[in-house]
Structure formats: structure tokens, C-alpha cells
Structure 1
Amino acid sequence: MNLFNTQLIEYLEQNACDITEKWLQTRAPIGKSVYAVKDDKIDALLREQNRFTIKTIISSLCDDQTAYKENSEEWAKTVAKSRAESETPIYEVLDVVSKFKQIFIQYMESFFDNHTDASQKQMMPSMVTVGKAFDDLYVKFTEHYYHYTTAKLEAQQELIRELSAPIIPITDSIGVLPLVGDIDTKRAKTIVEVIPVQCMQQKITHLSIDLSGVPVVDTMVANQLFQLIQTLQLLGVTSMISGINPAFAISSVQLGIDFENVETHATLKKALEKMGLNTNI
């Protein structure tokens, strides 16, 4: 590493605290993102992360790029996870990092001003390197932020799908699965995977699958229902279908769906009565 870069790095390291404080002053108390909240713990977190940002950018100026590669990857993972968990919009993060970049560049320019003997040939490579480092951080951050937010969204959607197919216990061994609304491929797959597990957990031996709230049946839905019933049968759970309305029945006939080997009832009440429950109480 040449003497000029060594002195630049030392200067930036010596002024790291000042750079961080100047950056923190750019925060606007607008909205509910992590940057707008005034809290000692959050302030401490932002200071720590910003110091790591400075360390990462400075390491890009070293001849050996090993430290920079490690730092940039760790920075992107850490900050992306933190911002995703705090639900800070990505555009706010990029705006804040952009402001920090301007401050960092200002300190570099200040160093150059104090070294009038330095030539453009010495200064330009450093400026270019730092510019590329920031661009690299943008890309790595957005990539990790996308992965974290996508994983979080998928987990939420999975929870919603599970909640969309709950077994309601009627007695210690009898349960009802009320299905409501359209059943798409993902929801049908969730039902087939989740319901047998719920039956085992709740020790359900008799289950009525109520379709009163399902407006349309197609071949996919019917096949998934058959698969569910067969799976439950293997687990020792007796199941039947209730709530088959005229539109459902007509659609089934038109599609050639055969419910001959499946016990069906027009209403949930009749299904429960078949299970031995007195519904007149």
C-alpha cells in the first residue's frame, strides 16, 4: 500500500466517530422507520452499524481485498436483517446510505485539501475505489434484504394458509373442518399436509369436512379432497364430506368427479348426527 493511501486510511479512522455523528444528524424524525425513532438503544445500534460501514468502506482502500470482501458480505447480511426486522422500507435505507456516502466523500475531500502536494493521479484511484465499494454495498444489501423480506412474507403466508384450514373439535374425538372461500393449489396442498397432523395432535378419530362455504369445485379440489380422505383413512381417521350444495353437486357430475366411495351429507348437522352427536340440544 502506498503512503498516500495509508495516510488517508489513518485520517478516516481517526475521524470515524465524527463521521458517524454527522451522519446521525441527517436523520429526519418522520415516519416510523428505525431512522426516525429517537431511542437510546436504536441510537447505539445505528452508531455501531455505521462504524462497521466505515470500517468496511475503509477496507476497500487496502491492497489486499480479503478483509473488504468479508466485511462487505457481513455488513450486507447484518444491516439487511436489521432493517427487514424493523420493517424499514428499502428506499429509506438507500437514501440514508446515500447521505452517508456524501459525508464520507466530504471527509476524503477534506483530507485531499490538507494534502495540496497530492496529485490528481493519487486522489482519483481512491475516490473511484470508494465509489465502487458503495455501489457494491448497495447491490449486496438489496439482495439480502430481498431474501429476508421474501422469507418473512412466505412464513406469514404459510401461517395464513394454516389458519385457513383449522379443525374445530366438537368432542374429544370428533372434529369439523370448515372450508370457506376459493381453494387454490397452494391452499389445497396446505390442507392435505396440515390436516392429518392436526388430527393426530388433537386425537381426532372422526372428521367432517364441511364444504358449505366453498363456492366452486374443480378437478384439482376434488383430487385433493380424495387424497386427504385416503391419508386420514390410513391414519385411522374416519372422514366424511358435508355441505354439498346443488351447485357443487352439478359441477361434480359435469366434471365426472365420483363421490361414490365417499360418505357425503347435505348438511353439517346430518354429518354430526351420523357420528352419533345429538344436534338438537
Structure 2
Amino acid sequence: MKRIDLELYEYLVSKFPEITEVWLAMRRVEEGSIYSLTASEKMEQKLREQNRLTILTITSSLLEDPKLFEKNKKEWAEVVALSRVNSNTPIEDVLEALSNVRLTYWRFLKGFYVTNEERITIKDYVRWSETINSAFDQIYVDFAETYNKFMSTKLTAQQTLINELSSPVIKLTPTIGVMPLIGDMDDVRARVMLQSIPEKCLETDIIHLFIDLSGVSVIDTLVAQQIFRLTQVLSLLGTKCTITGIRPEIAHASTELGLDFTTIETFSSLQQAFSKEFKVIAN
């Protein structure tokens, strides 16, 4: 490593606090943004810490140790991307903030050049330019990939929760429950239901589950098949199923698939099913 390169590295490390303060001063008032000039002191401190991590990562690219830069880059991307996903910060806002970091960083590098101009060759400056610009380009890519990974995981978890909440098991008695299905039923929702409902019934000691389809607006053959599989799984677990609200189109779809619902008690309405069930219990 050339002596002048080491001097630049040490100079930039000594300027970390100043670089961060100059970058923070570039903020403007943006309602709802973590980068807003009016952000809380706690958020400003977090930005200060993460900015230091950013410039540390970029500066490490000047050392003749590619593995160190890769390690820093990966750690930086994980920390910053997760923080931005959790704060619901749009990726374009982050990229704009990184561009400001880049501008700030170059101001200090140029300051070093001006102070030591007589000792710095054009080749030195070009080498630094290529190294640092490449480092910034790489962290942009790593951030975008990591941000998308975390965002995808978050959206998947949210969708799973929505699907589970859309298939609630409501206890009517200590052992009887009803699962009213409302809205469109697609294959994804049906598969989530197949995975979660048996577990819910076991956890809550449900031995008789009423599955009400009267509120379902659209159902296809795949969904009908999943519902049939659900009744089979519950039967194996000792839970009796009663299906209510089956409309003609659902019955036709089931018939076309060869699904035999004749072994399952069905009613045209939930009220009709309850009338029979609770009459039996009363007797």
C-alpha cells in the first residue's frame, strides 16, 4: 500500500465525525421522513451511527483488503436495510440520502487533495476515484438487494397474518366452533387455511367445526379441493366437520373434481345447521 494511500485513509478516518455532521446539515424538512430535519433526537442519533458505518465501509475500500470491504459492506447493508424496512422508508429516499453521503465524502477527499496537491499524482487521484466510486456503486446494489429481501419477508409475513385472520375459528361452546369464510377464496388463502385451521382446532379443543361458505363470493375447483382436504385432515384429528352455505356452483365444482362430500353433513344455511346441532345437545 502506497504511503499516500495510507495517509488518505487515516485522514478520512479522522474526519468521520465531521463528514457525518456535514451530511446531516444537508437534510431538509420532509414530513414523515426519517431523514427530515425535524426528526427526533433518537432518530438523528441513529442516522449519525449508521452514517459512520457507511463511511467506514467506503473508506475500507482504500485498504488492500477486499475481504474486509466485503465484510463491512455486507454488515452495513444488513443494518441499514433492516432499519429502513422497519421504518417504512421508500428505497428512493435511501438512495437520495446515499447520494448526499457520496457528495459529502468527495468534498473531504478533495480537501485532502488540495492540502497535499504537490505530493499527489494524477494516477493517485484517478485510482482513488475509481476505488471510491466503485465502492459506492457496490453498496447501492447490496443495499437494494438486501432491502428487497427484507421487504419481501415482511410482506409475506403480513399476507400470512391477513390470510390467517380471514379464516377465524370462533368458539360457540367449549368444543364447538364455527369458521365463517368471507370474500374471495383463492388457492393461497385456501392453502394457508389448510395449514392453520387443524392446529387451531387442536389448540382450542374443537371437536365439531362448522365451515360456513355463505359469505364466499368466488370459489374455484382448486379451492373446493383444498376445503375437502381440510375436512379430511380434521376428521383424522377427531374433529367432525359440517359445511353450510354451499351454493350450486360450489357443488358443481366439487362434483367435477370427484370430491365426495356425501360423508360430510351439509346444510343450506348456518342457522339451519345450528338448529339441528343445538337441538341434539339440548336433548
User: Could you tell me the TM-score, scaled by structure 2's length?
Assistant: 0.93
Which runs of 5 or more structure 2 residues have no equivalent in the other structure? Answer: none
Q: Is the CA contact (8 Å cut-off) linking 1:240 and 1:263 kept in structure 2?
A: yes
Tell me the residue number matched to 1:22: 22
The yes-or-no answer on 1:269 pairing with 2:271 is: yes
Distance change (3 Å), C-alpha of 1:251 and 1:228: closer
Q: Return the offset for 1:254.
A: 6.1
Q: Return the offset for 1:278.
A: 8.5
Tell me the residue number matched to 1:164: 166
Q: Is the CA contact (8 Å cut-off) linking 2:210 and 2:244 kept in structure 1?
A: yes
Which residue type is aligned with residue 100 of structure 1?
Answer: V
Which residue type is aligned with residue 18 of structure 1?
Answer: E
Distance change (3 Å), C-alpha of 1:18 and 1:217: closer
Tell me the residue number matched to 1:226: 228
Equivalent-residue separation in structure 2 for 1:81 and 1:253 (angstroms): 49
Equivalent-residue separation in structure 2 for 1:130 and 1:271 (angstroms): 72
Which residue type is aligned with residue 217 of structure 2?
Answer: P
Equivalent-residue separation in structure 2 for 1:68 and 1:268 (angstroms): 64
Distance change (3 Å), C-alpha of 1:195 and 1:218: same
Equivalent-residue separation in structure 2 for 1:82 and 1:240 (angstroms): 47
Tell me the residue number matched to 1:134: 136
Which residue type is aligned with residue 101 of structure 1?
Answer: R
Identical aligned residues as a percent? 42
Q: Which runs of 4+ in 1 moved over 4 A?
A: 250-257
Q: Return the offset for 1:255.
A: 6.2
User: Could you tell me the TM-score, scaled by structure 1's length?
Assistant: 0.94
Q: Return the offset for 1:22.
A: 0.3
The yes-or-no answer on 1:33 pairing with 2:45 is: no
Pick aligned residue for 1:153 from 148, 152, 155: 155
Equivalent-residue separation in structure 1 for 2:158 and 2:197 (angstroms): 18
Equivalent-residue separation in structure 2 for 1:2 and 1:196 (angstroms): 67
| CA displacement 1:124-151 (0-9 Å, x = unmatched) | 1011100000001001111110011110
The yes-or-no answer on 1:12 pairing with 2:12 is: yes
Q: Is the CA contact (8 Å cut-off) linking 2:224 and 2:250 kept in structure 1?
A: no
| CA displacement 1:147-177 (0-9 Å, x = unmatched) | 1111000000000000010011111111111
3-state SS of 2:125 partner: helix
Q: Is the CA contact (8 Å cut-off) linking 2:224 and 2:253 kept in structure 1?
A: no
Equivalent-residue separation in structure 2 for 1:240 and 1:277 (angstroms): 15
Which residue type is aligned with residue 58 of structure 1?
Answer: T
Equivalent-residue separation in structure 2 for 1:243 and 1:2 (angstroms): 80
Tell me the residue number matched to 2:105: 104
After superposing the two structures, state which structure 1 stretch, 130-139 or 13-22, moved more.
13-22
RMSD in angstroms over aligned alpha carbons?
1.8
Q: How many residues align?
A: 279
Q: Return the offset for 1:9.
A: 1.1
| CA displacement 1:95-151 (0-9 Å, x = unmatched) | 011011011011111111112212111111011100000001001111110011110
Distance change (3 Å), C-alpha of 1:250 and 1:3: closer
3-state SS of 1:275 partner: helix
Q: Is the CA contact (8 Å cut-off) linking 1:33 and 1:89 kept in structure 2?
A: no
| CA displacement 1:194-246 (0-9 Å, x = unmatched) | 11111111111111111101234432122112111111111111111111234
Tell me the residue number matched to 2:243: 241
Q: Return the offset for 1:257.
A: 4.7
3-state SS of 1:236 partner: coil
**Which runs of structure 2 are paired with 1:44-193 in the superposition (5 Å)?**
44-117=45-118, 118-193=120-195
3-state SS of 2:263 partner: coil
Q: Return the offset for 1:189.
A: 0.5
Which runs of 5 or more structure 1 residues have no equivalent in the other structure? Answer: none
